[in-house]
Amino acid sequence: MKKVVKIFIGLLIVILGILIAIPYFFEDKIVELIKETANNNVNAKVDFNNVDISLISSFPNAKVSLNNLLIINKKPFEGDTLASVKNIALKMPISSLFSSSSNKIKVSYISVEEGNINVLVNKNGEANYNIAKENTTSTTENNEEKSGLKLQLDGYSIENSNIYYTDTSSKMTLKLENFNHKGSGNFSEAVSELKTETSSNVSFNYEDASYLKNNSIQLKAAIAMDLNEQKFTFLENEALINQLPLIFDGFVKMNESNQEIDIHFKTPSSEFKNFLALIPEQYSKDISDVKTTGKFSVEGNANGIIDDKHIPKLTIKLASNNASFKYPDLPKTIENIQIKTTILNTTGITNDTKVNIQNLSFKIDDDAFTSSAFISNIINNPKVKAKAKGTIDLVKISKAYPMENVKNLQGIVNADFETAFDMKSIENKQYENTQNSGHINLSNFNYEGDEMASPLDISTAKVTFNTRTVQLNNFEAKTGKSDLKMNGTIENLIGFVLNNEDIKGNFNLNSNNFNVNDFMVAEAETSEKESTENTTTEQLKIPSFLDCTITANASNVVYDNLNLKNTKGTLIIKDEKVDLKNLSSSLFNGNIVLNGNVSTKTKTPTFAFNMGIKNFDIAQSFTQLDMFSALAPIANTLQGKINTDLKVSGNLNDDLTPNLATISGNGLSELLTSKTSLENSKALSLLSSNLNFIDLKKLDLDKIKASIAFENGKVAIKPFNVDYKDIPIEISGKHGFDQTMDYNVTFDVPAKYLGGDAANLIAKLSEQEKDKITVPVTANILGSFTKPSVKTDLKQAVTNLTKQLVAKQKNKLIDKGTNELTKLLNDNKKETDSTKTNSNDLIKNTANDLIKGLFKKKKRDTAKKQ
């Protein structure tokens, strides 16, 4: 007995060893077979990481797994990924591995795990899944003959996969996410029964309209398959759409040129909860504990053919009578719900489908609302007739229906209107073809949401519908620190609601206080660098859906840290851009007129303005406006008024304040001032201490005009003149927004201000000549406004003066004779030659005397200090 056990154990070990070893011997054969099959059958690039072969986990079958399979398209979808699959597994009899190369490997089961299928159809109708080679598409038998594989399936499965279908030619998208499907049956028989189970989240869009959005769908179906007739008959079937159950029966038959369909469906029960189940879960919320009364039913049929021109004839009825529902955590009940809707097509022509909402009504307490609509010609040019009447208290709505993203919703809506239009007229902006009448009134409305920077309170809003326009008769609202009163005309309300158009109109706006930031939307942006750090920034944006003209009149406008009084003008808002036309305002005890624009369309916001400024208070404007302070830092020493015409443009920061490093432009300014404060400027104080012939506090700055130009953070000041007593002064230079500077100040100094020695030189000149003798002194101001340095050419200026005076005296002496010249030179104690004047020594000695005179005051001051 022990020997038998030992023999059995030994055989078992040998068999297990063989089962483990065999895959290594046959792996190359399998890899070669798969690649050969792919190359023979598809016109695409097929790649995978490796192949795993197992004989133990699937015994008595062999299991072959392909890992990380990729199918990459060739032209016309060059480089697109048709499919990426984490794992594809094939099950086959172990005996297939030992068969000769002439025999086919029989595959009995296929499984797909974590696949992503991206099906594309371009505008020419070409599909990226059409990758089968022409010589392999005749019959299944030919495919198997070429590939070396023979399908004898008894089952298949797809797990945790996604299927995406995008058809740009028909503007249709279908998404099957978290798709799980499995089927079992005898596929080798011509007549058999297939049992399937399917679950997925489905989204479906057609021409910008969303018909399904992440709806949960489950399907259990038993299907009788007749492969000879290509007819598939539904036997025991139940579908679950969200939480709405449907049972159906009928068949689908595949013909050469079309498909036949005859399907009947209905709800197995008639509870009103079935209606809530039709609404996507993110809108209906959790309905498991919702209490309902009344009935709701869905019943219909579809029969006919499907081809390029036809759809099945349809009759679908939705009905509810005297129903209600109440969420367990909310106090109010929506009751007396009436629904009667029919979807009908009697011809099989898609365009002949009609939707008739005969009644849709409900009540909350004593507030009742009723509506109806009829839609026809749905493909060629949808025509809509609709009407609504009733009163809705939004507080009661929020107490009866969950609204997670809305806070403190309040307001009373009173509506009584009718409308009739066709979509082509809306798309072509032919609003004269629409018929509208009635009104909507809104009162005591409060709304908080992500679309507004601050809560919006509307005390009253009255809208009247006319044939072409919607008249805003009265609108009074508050948001943040702003108040609004408006009236005007909306030209395309239906186009805005139905055709994704910008809202277009003309409005009159009056406000006591208007804070610009209250109307800016904070849009989150994540840069490439920030995305790695999981951080975002917020950028203020002008709403993109506005296309309107606003005539504004506001007592006070707040922008950044500025308060603009009595603001009037026109704002044209379009394409994320605001154009300002003759916007006038009182600011800094003066007035400003703006023409220009602000745009947030590009990633970096921009601005461009022409500013006409009159009587601005210099101290206020140059301390509170960063841009003004950067243009003229020295202005903080001035007291008085300024007039300027300024043209400026550049980029804006995310909070819509100017980015000073980017601005450029030019301007002409006129100062109306008479006083300076040297203590506010280190540069002027230093200049004053270097010159003893001028008191900068007594400069005459009234009506000085200066022209400036600036670009890329640099400001250039064109030469302008200032008067100080009888000393003309010319100023020019440049500075940067980084506070660096390079200025030249040139003084045309009369000689009489240059000390006693200069007075001796000019003593014998006539009074008329004395006034004409001047010398230029230049001061160069460098460094920065916080750490300035001053260099003067005073020494050279004195030398130049001496040359000038000597030249004058020399000419006189020559005219009067050599004796008079000799006497003059002796009086000044200068050595001279009786026959020839040494001009160089004379100039040198005289200059030294003058410099001593200029700085004599400072030496005396120093002596006193000692």
- Position 197, amino acid: E
Q: What is the pLDDT of residues 306-354, one digit of tens each?
A: 887 888 999 999 999 899 999 888 999 999 999 999 999 999 998 999 9
pLDDT at 58 over 80: no
- Residue 289 forms beta bridges with which residues? none
- Residue 90 forms beta bridges with which residues? 64, 110
What is the structure's pLDDT at 813?
A: 59
The DSSP output letter for 433 is: G
> Rounded to the nearest 10 degrees, what angle do helices 794-816 and 818-827 cross at?
140
Kind of pairing, strands 313-326 and 291-306? antiparallel
Could you tell me which residue, 416 or 25, shows the higher pLDDT?
416
pLDDT at 770 over 80: no
What is the structure's pLDDT at 319?
A: 92
Residue 494's nearest CA partner among 420, 442, 572 is 420
What is the structure's pLDDT at 23?
A: 53
Q: Which residues of 431-470 are buried (b: 16+ CB within 10 A; e: fewer)?
A: beebebebebbbeebbbeeeeebeebbbbebbbbbeeebb
What is the structure's pLDDT at 212?
A: 73
Dihedral sign for Cα atoms in the order 286, 288, 292, 294: positive
Question: What is the enclosing helix (H) or strand (E) of 37?
Answer: helix 2-41
What is the structure's pLDDT at 122?
A: 87
What is the structure's pLDDT at 103?
A: 52
93 vs 105: CA distance, rounded Å: 8
Here the tokens at position 823 are 């006497």
Q: Which residues contact 743 (CB under 8 A, 6 or more apart)?
A: 683, 717, 731, 732, 733, 734, 735, 780, 781
Q: What is the pLDDT of residues 517-569, one digit of tens each?
A: 787 655 544 444 444 445 445 567 787 888 899 999 999 988 777 888 999 99
- Position 798, amino acid: V
Q: Which residues of 675-688 are buried (b: 16+ CB within 10 A; e: fewer)?
A: ebebeebebbbbbb
Instruction: Determine the longest span between alpha carbons in the chain, in angstroms.
Output: 159
What is the structure's pLDDT at 630?
A: 79
pLDDT (mean) for 154-178: 88
Q: In which band, very low, low, confident or very high, does the pLDDT at 17 lie, cut at 50, 70 and 90? A: very low
Here the tokens at position 713 are 């953070």
Kind of pairing, strands 503-511 and 546-559? parallel
Task: Look at residue 413 and tell me if it is in a domain.
Answer: no
pLDDT (mean) for 751-780: 70
pLDDT (mean) for 183-188: 78
pLDDT (mean) for 595-623: 89
Q: In which band, very low, low, confident or very high, does the pLDDT at 269 lie, cut at 50, 70 and 90? A: confident
Q: What is the pLDDT of residues 250-267, one digit of tens each?
A: 999 988 888 899 999 988
What is the structure's pLDDT at 20?
A: 43
Task: Look at residue 34 and tell me if it is in a domain.
Answer: no
Task: Look at residue 299 and tell me if it is in a domain.
Answer: no
302 vs 689: CA distance, rounded Å: 100
What is the structure's pLDDT at 666?
A: 92
Which of 51-55, 425-429, 492-496 has the largest mean confidence? 425-429
Q: What is the pLDDT of residues 619-646, one digit of tens each?
A: 788 778 878 877 777 776 777 888 999 9
pLDDT at 660 over 50: yes
What is the structure's pLDDT at 653?
A: 86
pLDDT at 141 over 90: no
Here the tokens at position 427 are 């798309």
Q: What percent of the chain has pLDDT over 70?
A: 76
pLDDT at 138 over 60: no
Neighbours of 401 (CB within 10 A): 16
User: 406-420, 626-640, 778-792, 816-830 — which is least confidently predicted?
Assistant: 816-830
What is the structure's pLDDT at 832?
A: 43
pLDDT (mean) for 462-471: 84
Here the tokens at position 439 are 């009104």
pLDDT at 188 over 80: no
Neighbours of 865 (CB within 10 A): 6
Total residues belonging to the chain: 866
Long-range own/partner contacts, residues 674-677 (CB < 8 A, 24 or more apart): 674/639, 674/640, 674/700, 674/701, 674/702, 675/638, 675/639, 675/640, 676/637, 676/638, 676/639, 676/701, 677/637, 677/638, 677/639
Q: What is the pLDDT of residues 822-852, one digit of tens each?
A: 554 555 544 444 444 455 555 455 545 544 4
pLDDT at 19 over 60: no
Task: Look at residue 862 and tell me if it is in a domain.
Answer: yes
User: 8-12, 249-253, 487-491, 617-621 — which is least confidently predicted?
Assistant: 8-12
* CB distance 728 to 670 below 8 Å: no
pLDDT (mean) for 777-784: 88
Q: In which band, very low, low, confident or very high, does the pLDDT at 360 lie, cut at 50, 70 and 90? A: very high
Secondary structure class of 396 (helix, strand, coil): helix
Distance of CA 352 to the CA centre of its chain: 41
Could you tell me which residue, 742 or 207, shows the higher pLDDT?
742
223 vs 254: CA distance, rounded Å: 14
328 vs 854: CA distance, rounded Å: 97
Q: In which band, very low, low, confident or very high, does the pLDDT at 860 lie, cut at 50, 70 and 90? A: very low
What is the structure's pLDDT at 342?
A: 96
737 vs 733: CA distance, rounded Å: 14
- Residue 542 forms beta bridges with which residues? none
Residue 97: what are its φ and ψ, rounded to 5°?
-70, -25
Q: Which residues of 600-639 are buried (b: 16+ CB within 10 A; e: fewer)?
A: beeeebbbebbbebeebbbbebbebbebbbbbbbbbbbbb
- Position 334, amino acid: I
pLDDT at 434 over 90: no
What is the structure's pLDDT at 678?
A: 59
The DSSP output letter for 502 is: P
Global confidence as pTM: 0.58
Task: Look at residue 282 and tell me if it is in a domain.
Answer: no
What is the structure's pLDDT at 677?
A: 65
pLDDT at 282 over 80: no
pLDDT at 764 over 80: no
384 vs 184: CA distance, rounded Å: 47
Gyration radius (Cα) of the chain, Å: 45
pLDDT (mean) for 768-780: 78
DSSP for 727-772, written as a single string = EEEEEEEEEETTSBEEEEEEEEEEGGGS-HHHHHHHTTS-HHHHHH
Q: What is the pLDDT of residues 34-45, one digit of tens each?
A: 666 666 777 888
The count of domains in the chain is: 1
* Residue 232: HSE in the Cβ half-sphere, 13 Å Cα cutoff: 12
pLDDT (mean) for 269-292: 73
594 vs 644: CA distance, rounded Å: 12
Q: Which domain does 767 fall in, by range? A: 724-866
What is the structure's pLDDT at 26?
A: 57
What do you get for the CA distance between the two ends of the chain, in Å?
Answer: 128
Q: What is the pLDDT of residues 694-735, one digit of tens each?
A: 777 777 777 788 898 988 788 898 998 888 888 888 989 998
- Position 752, amino acid: K
Neighbours of 255 (CB within 10 A): 13
pLDDT at 371 over 70: yes
Task: Look at residue 393 and tell me if it is in a domain.
Answer: no
pLDDT at 178 over 90: yes
Cis omega (within 30 of 0) for bond into 328: no
* CB distance 605 to 598 below 8 Å: yes
Q: What is the pLDDT of residues 79-103, one digit of tens each?
A: 888 889 898 887 877 666 555 544 5
What is the structure's pLDDT at 691?
A: 77
What is the structure's pLDDT at 12?
A: 42
pLDDT (mean) for 230-238: 86
Residue 142: what are its φ and ψ, rounded to 5°?
-65, -40
Here the tokens at position 752 are 């009489």
pLDDT at 438 over 80: yes
Task: Look at residue 655 and tell me if it is in a domain.
Answer: no
Ramachandran quadrant class, 190 (left: phi over 0; alpha: psi -120 to 50; beta: rest): alpha
pLDDT at 202 over 70: yes
User: 114-118, 155-159, 206-210 — which is least confidently predicted?
Assistant: 206-210
Q: 134 exposed, middle or buried (CB, 10 Å; 0-12, 13-18, 19+)?
A: exposed
Average pLDDT over the chain, rounded to an integer: 78
Here the tokens at position 357 are 């909402």
Task: Look at residue 246 and tell me if it is in a domain.
Answer: no
